Structure 1
Amino acid sequence: MTALQIRLARPATLSGRGQRRAEARVGGMLALPAMIFFGVFWLLPFLSACYLSFTRYDLAGTPEWVGLENYRRMLEDPGFWNSAQVTAVYTVGSVLPAIVLALAIAVPLARPGRFNGVLRGLIMIPAVMPLVATSVVWRIIYADGGPANAVLGVAGLGPVSWLTDDKMAVWALVVMVTWKHLGLFVIIFTAGLQGLPPSVFEAAALDGAGPVRAFFSITLPLLRRTLLFVLVIAVVGSMQAFVPAFLLTGGGPAGATEVLPYYMWSTAFGFERMGYASAMAMVLLAMLVVLSLVQFRFLRGGGDE
């Protein structure tokens, strides 16, 4: 390379570096609002809650450092263990049926059909409704003279105290939440099913595989990533449930629907034990992280091809 060529190449190199710096500055400026939002509304509250979990704080005075006392108290608190048990029942009861029903509905909706597009739009209506409005509607449905008991009356069965019976209340919440989230899961499964290669199913049909065998041997393995994605968002959403228990039952009767987020809220703002509530929030966060990591481990193990 001649001296002239070197001199001509050097400005181009500097210009390229300057352009990259300019692009980095523009990218940083565009990301700045999101970073500020993240810091103010997520990072700072998280750090504050983490600090308060090691203190005794009643919302009025100054936080008093108590170390691990709040976490030790949690081990001996029957209210915490009751709320953890209710949360587990609520999560399993609302996640598994919703996933099974959504998959059963998505399989026929994923096929070409004249009215399938309309049906997919209709089934999404509950998912886009505000959760507060949904809770109010279902409170009317579960009323003593509401539609749920009217249907039981037509079937010759007696009325049920859906929201005041300690054995029925949590299942009433489960039914409402399943109905609420079903449409979203159906749409996700439908998209996953429509992305599967048709050639695999054609080859299976030529080999004599029936619909049931093709579903369990081909569809489910290929749909693994989608299935586990739905499982992750369903579990995380269920373990953070607060609005249904707050609006429909108030955590009752006798703590039968007192899920962990509701117990945290009542501890923090009802009994003004913000430090203890923060410790429970840290435990709930740790549970969600562990469950998510376990499920993401399975996600890496296989997926849609």
Structure 2
Amino acid sequence: MAAASFLTPFLVLTLVFQYVPLAVLARDSMYEYTLFNPDAATFVGGKNFGRIFTDADTVQSLGVTFVFMAVFLAMVVPLGLLLAVYINGRMAARGLIRTMIFLPVVTSSVVVATMWTFILAQTGLLNGLLTSAGISPVAFLTNKDTALYAIIAMCVWQQLGLAAVLFLGGLQSIPADVQEAAEIDGAGPVQRLWHIIIPMLSRTTVLVVVMMTVFGLQAFAPAFIMTTGGPEGSTNFIMYHIYRTAFFLQDPGFASAISIVVLLFALAISLIQMRLLKTKWNF
């Protein structure tokens, strides 16, 4: 009875704020209506789900999101590992350095996106420095060839601290005598990293990859604040596309269907990653 009394409030909150909204989302995905007149909803069954892979804007948004996720993961995971190895060593003011590295993670995404907009804008700080050096300004956020990568750079900067801290926790759980034995046997820093540290960090890598993948799927603030999905849809992330579909195009039923598909994608990708990175190590 004591356990039930402690668990009940949590279970009720989970039911009300997580599972009930999911049920409502699933219900709405079967209807076609507008937010101006929700009472005039028309039941369309699975029509909204069929539209997802035939609607040009949605297909483009999914493609942009997966490119963003792939490049983002390819940068933040290895950089996070290398940064964790560096800050795990002996250095002065190590605590201060760790705090500075983690600070962008706990900063609001809206604040970070606004700050980077000032830096990367056509008349922003970075282009001001380029102009001072006699270099022509670069359209970081208004050119379809550079806008996506500018946002990726911002997201890597923001999330690198989280990846590093997670890897740091894994590094500190590796027995010191294992690395000492390898060092005595003549293994250099690169050999120890490749043959000892990386294999023993496999479980931590799973956690980092899954968390960064979910972050990539949920990216919204950069597209909303920095580029409004442009130019030419090159930064139209799926979360921004869902928001725009529901509130600007007044098609919340279709937006609900896209949300369910994205949720299933996130679950499937996470399960695949966990399976591929499954390891026997317990560190």
TM-score with structure 1 setting the length: 0.88
Q: Is 1:69 paired with 2:47?
A: yes
Q: 1:55–1:66: 8 Å Cα contact kept in structure 2?
A: yes
Distance 1:62 1:46 in 2: 22
1:154 to partner: Cα distance? 5.1
Distance 2:30 2:23 in 1: 12
Give 3-state SS (helix, strand or coil) of 2:5's partner. Answer: helix
In structure 1, give the amino acid aligned to 2:52.
Answer: M
In structure 2, give the amino acid aligned to 1:291.
Answer: I
In structure 1, give the amino acid aligned to 2:15.
Answer: G
Structure 2 counterparts to residues 3-82 of structure 1, below 5 A: 25-59=1-35, 60=37, 61-82=39-60
2:242 to 264, 283, 287: 264
Work out which of the two has the higher radius of gyration on C-alpha atoms and give 1 or 2. 1
Q: Summarize deviations over 1:273-300 as a string: whole Å, max 9, x none.
A: 1111111111101100101111222454
Give 3-state SS (helix, strand or coil) of 1:301's partner. Answer: coil
- Aligned equivalent of 1:250: 228
- Aligned equivalent of 1:167: 145
Q: Is 1:204 paired with 2:182?
A: yes
Q: Residues 150, 104 of structure 1: CA spacing in aligned structure 2 closer, same or farther, 3 A cutoff?
A: farther
1:260 to partner: Cα distance? 0.7
Q: Summarize deviations over 1:166-189 as a string: whole Å, max 9, x none.
A: 111111111111111111111111
Q: How many residues align?
A: 281
- In percent, how many aligned pairs have the same letter? 34
2:106 to 128, 133, 138: 128
Q: Summarize deviations over 1:113-161 as a string: whole Å, max 9, x none.
A: 3322221111111111111111111111112222221343355432111
Q: 1:221–1:304: 8 Å Cα contact kept in structure 2?
A: no
1:229 to 171, 193, 207: 207
Give 3-state SS (helix, strand or coil) of 1:124's partner. Answer: helix
Distance 1:156 1:217 in 2: 47
Q: 2:203–2:279: 8 Å Cα contact kept in structure 1?
A: no
Distance 1:47 1:265 in 2: 19
| Root-mean-square deviation over aligned CA pairs | 1.5
Q: Residues 140, 220 of structure 1: CA spacing in aligned structure 2 closer, same or farther, 3 A cutoff?
A: same
Give 3-state SS (helix, strand or coil) of 2:250's partner. Answer: coil
Q: 1:196–1:304: 8 Å Cα contact kept in structure 2?
A: no
**Structure 1 portions without partners, runs of 5+:** 1-24
Distance 1:151 1:296 in 2: 44
Q: 1:245–1:262: 8 Å Cα contact kept in structure 2?
A: yes
In structure 2, give the amino acid aligned to 1:108.
Answer: Y
In structure 2, give the amino acid aligned to 1:303.
Answer: W
Distance 1:244 1:36 in 2: 34
- Aligned equivalent of 1:218: 196
Q: Summarize deviations over 1:180-237 as a string: whole Å, max 9, x none.
A: 1111111111111111111111111222211111110111000111111100000011
In structure 2, give the amino acid aligned to 1:50.
Answer: A
In structure 2, give the amino acid aligned to 1:269.
Answer: F
Distance 2:87 2:182 in 1: 21
In structure 2, give the amino acid aligned to 1:65.
Answer: F
Q: 1:225–1:302: 8 Å Cα contact kept in structure 2?
A: no
Q: 1:56–1:64: 8 Å Cα contact kept in structure 2?
A: yes
In structure 2, give the amino acid aligned to 1:256.
Answer: S
Q: Is 1:146 paired with 2:124?
A: yes
Q: 1:127–1:180: 8 Å Cα contact kept in structure 2?
A: yes
Q: 1:164–1:252: 8 Å Cα contact kept in structure 2?
A: yes
Distance 2:3 2:71 in 1: 45
